[in-house]
Structure 1
């Protein structure tokens, strides 16, 4: 899974890798949204099939064949977030949904704290998702699901 998604911000095009977008979902599932949502993710394994990933279960991230390298780690292709207090709120977000939310945030079309917008902007400009923290991932997910930050 080595594809790239192009987003446009103020006329400039930026390419975000699936790894970049997957990293955002991983942060959100593994803690960024845990204060408001029950979350689970789906990943594509290296054979091209899908396998479920449960949040906070390390067995999902451990290679069992003994010759693992980081390049074979599963990437999130989508994640489902259901509000703990009202499971009718929430939904599933895929990589394209993450890219769309990032484009809206960085482009100024979504209202988020300015510090969060700056963190995401720097990550996009550098092409480095490691700059995105759990709080920023949570905002991206909420913009992707609700078009606004509802929780937090």
Structure 2
């Protein structure tokens, strides 16, 4: 994964690497959206299943993730994630890296209504080119904006 997606925030262009966008999907799939969605990941790397997909359930959310999954977790590169609402599997969809970039752009440009603190977290991460500050709550907002164009859950 060495490519990037370009977004524009207030007239300024930013490059978001696929690694940046993949990290956002990882945080969302592994916990950020778990209160409303079941996630199935299209990924590359040794931790993916034979068809390149990995399903998540509550056993994935443990205190010491490295202890359960070992270092192989670092090899996962998320290409797309399918999020299906637990209470209505007809709701949801698949979000790929371009969809994540588009959602970040909409949130940063105030085209989608999110809490100002979430917007600030996302903006700082984009400006610094560092996705590690995007926590589960921010990743969840990005996914919901990407799938539904608004915050539907939470």
**TM range, smaller chain:** 0.7 to 0.9
Q: State which drifts further: 131-140 or 53-62.
A: 53-62
Gapped regions of structure 2 (runs ≥ 5): none
Q: Is the CA contact 1:43–1:50 (under 8 Å) kept in the aligned structure 2?
A: no
Match of 1:77 among 76, 79, 101: 79
For 1:133 and 1:50, how far apart are their aligned partners in 2? Answer: 28
Distance 1:69 1:101, change over 3 A: closer
Residues paired across the two proteins, number: 144
Distance 1:69 1:32, change over 3 A: closer
Within the alignment, does 1:118 sit opposite 2:117 as a pair? no
* Higher relative helix content: 2
Within the alignment, does 1:94 sit opposite 2:96 as a pair? yes
For 1:92 and 1:150, how far apart are their aligned partners in 2? Answer: 16
Gapped regions of structure 1 (runs ≥ 5): none
- Off by >4 Å, runs of 4+ in structure 1: 57-63
Other-structure match for 1:143: 145
Per-residue CA shift, 1:110-145, capped at 9, x if unaligned? Answer: 100000000000000000000100000000000000
For 1:69 and 1:119, how far apart are their aligned partners in 2? Answer: 25
Distance 1:44 1:50, change over 3 A: farther
TM-score, normalisation: structure 1? 0.87
> How far 1:44 sits from its partner (Å)?
2.3
Q: Is the CA contact 1:44–1:50 (under 8 Å) kept in the aligned structure 2?
A: no
For 2:42 and 2:6, how far apart are their aligned partners in 1? Answer: 22
Partner secondary structure for residue 139 of structure 2 = helix
